[in-house]
Structures are given as structure tokens and as C-alpha cells.
Amino acid sequence: MPAAPAGSKCHRESTLSTSVDPAELLAAQRVLRDRILCGKGGVEARQQRDLAAEMLLYLDDPQSCWQASARWLMSVTAAHRIDAGFSSAQDACYRPMFELVRADVMLPSVVGAAMDARDPGIACVWESSRVVVFDDVGGDRRLGTDLRAALFAAGTRRKLAVALRDAQGDVGLMCVDAVAGAAWRADECTQFDNVARNVIAPILAAARRLTVESVESADSDRAACRAGAAQRPEECRGLTPAELRVAHLVLAGCSYKEIARKLGRSASTIDHHLRSMREKLGVNSTAKLMRDLIVLIPSVLPAGSNNGHH
């Protein structure tokens, strides 16, 4: 796998590596290995095969999968930032959950930033089966006024964006941004398109399913949160069991709608829990909340859970 550019800065916001059933993990790895590396129609380029092999090692850790794919893209494109997040075309709001930024540029973080998914610029990415190229953010008429302003504020002048999907549906969005320079090269667009569709999307879809299923288990849902809160009240900062259940699912990459459906609550109730958590943890944004939760949540998992990164 190509080395990441020297000094790349990684901001990670989204997923929690939980204890995944070893048999399920091995079965998922085997299916993906046969499909991507061994099967007819699998990827042939050596670099892409190396990326797939690395991501499969971390299939029980979506965060590490995002990170590996971002490092790879940073090494084969003129990107200054890679950002991504789990989402679907039906979501009204898109929030990047992961970000990798080159160390030689100063860029504001986009992690947790709310973007109107109904903007024509985002809509056209979901509607496309290929990478969408934005060579001039300032002049591209496919971008709505608010989204263009948000991209400019984030330092983005050129962008490649792709909707990640697998056979079971939408997985998320992934973007390659540049702060300056000429138009994107054809080989950059082709590499991004191929690896996104054939490697990144199927592996991240499986990683997310494994993680969400783990989070939904009894121990990592109601029982785990209550047990952890009772054992470590000073670390939980007063978060209620209901808030901790929401926190687990937020870090597993679930959208507001998915969390509401899984917990049998309304979207407004989920939003209320998130506001309450921000107040209790003393932060003023979702991005900062997620940073704190990534540190906090492992401390409230039951003893024996494997929540460490590889």
C-alpha cells in the first residue's frame, strides 16, 4: 500500500470499534476477499489490491477502514483533504465523519459540519453512478449558493465526490478536495472512481453492518450503557442511559433517522439527546461532541469488550 504523504493530519470522527463476533468477521472477510481479490471481475491493479487487503484486516473497525482508504487516495491524487461519512440519499443532512488533511496546508475542519443534502450539488453526486468532478467550485452551477459558500469557507476550490454504494444500498459519501491547482487529471478521476466502487464501498458497507450489529446487541445497548454508567459515574459526565445508547449509534455511523428507528424514538427526541450531551460535556458543536465521545464511550463498555484500534 502506498505510504501516506509525510505529516498528514488525521481527524477521526465517527465510528467505534466494538466487539464483533469472530465467526461473522471471518465469514465477511472471506466473502469480500473472494469478491475483490480472487473472483472474476475483481480488482487487478496492484495498488488497489494492496488497499483492499489492508482494509480487510480492519473490517471490524470502520474508522481504520476510512483512514486506510483516505491515505491511499492522498497518495495517488493531488488532494489537500479527504473527507467522508456514512449517509444515504434519503438523508436531509449530510455530516462528514472523517477527515485527512495534508500537513503542509492549513484548512478548517469539516468534520461534523451540517450540509443540506437537498442541495443540487450533493443531489447530483447521489444521482451519479460515477465520480462527479467539480473543477471550479466558484463557478460550477450545479452547486447551490449555501453549499458553494460552505465549501469556500472550508478552503475547497476543486472537488471530486462519489456516492458509495453496495448491493444492499447507500453507504456514504467520499470527497477529494484541493485548495488550488489545475483541473483534475483524468487518471486521478479514474483511480478514485474504480477504487471507490470496487474496493471502498463494499468493504465499508460490510464494516458498518458488522459494527452496527455489534452495537445493537444487548450488552452494547441498554445493559452495557447502564452497567457502565453505574460503574464509572465520574467518567460518564452525567450522561443518561438513553443518551449513551444514542452515543453508541452515533459513533457507529448511524444517521438521525436510523437512530430514531432503531430506538423507537422521534428524530426530535434524538436531537434533544444530542443537545443535552453537548451541554453536559461542555462543547458547542457536534464535531467536538464526537471527539469527546470517542474518548468517553470505551470507558463505559462492559469489561472484556474489544474496543481498541488495531
The answer for residues whose C-beta is within 8 angstroms of residue 156's C-beta and 6 or more apart is: 81, 137, 177, 178, 179
* pLDDT tens column, 78-101: 999 999 999 999 999 999 999 999
Residue-level pLDDT at 297 = 65
Q: What is the set of domains in the chain, with CATH numbers?
A: 9-212 (3.30.450.40), 216-300 (1.10.10.10)
Do residues 83 and 110 touch, judged by C-beta distance below 8 A? yes
How far is 126 from 119, CA to CA, in rounded Å? 11
- Weakest mean pLDDT among 107-111, 186-190, 221-225, 279-283: 221-225
Write the DSSP symbol of residue 183.
Answer: P
How far is 64 from 71, CA to CA, in rounded Å? 10
Residue 84, beta-bridge partner list: 98, 174
- Weakest mean pLDDT among 84-88, 131-135, 142-146, 242-246: 242-246
* pLDDT tens column, 185-219: 999 999 999 999 999 999 999 999 887 776 655 34
Q: What is the percentage of the chain residues whose pLDDT exceeds 90?
A: 47
Q: What is the mean pLDDT of residues 167-174?
A: 94
pLDDT band for 301, please (50, 70, 90 cuts). very low
224 burial (CB, 10 Å; 0-12 / 13-18 / 19+) is buried
Within a 10 A sphere around the Cβ of 179, how many other Cβ atoms?
16
Residue-level pLDDT at 257 = 79
How far is 128 from 183, CA to CA, in rounded Å? 20
How far is 52 from 146, CA to CA, in rounded Å? 36
Q: In which element (H, E) is residue 84 found?
A: strand 81-86
Does residue 222 surpass a pLDDT of 70? no
- Weakest mean pLDDT among 22-26, 30-34, 80-84: 22-26
Residue-level pLDDT at 215 = 60
How far is 110 from 218, CA to CA, in rounded Å? 33
Residue-level pLDDT at 152 = 94
Q: What pTM, to 2 d.p., does this model score?
A: 0.68
Q: What is the mean pLDDT of residues 285-295?
A: 75
Residue-level pLDDT at 230 = 44
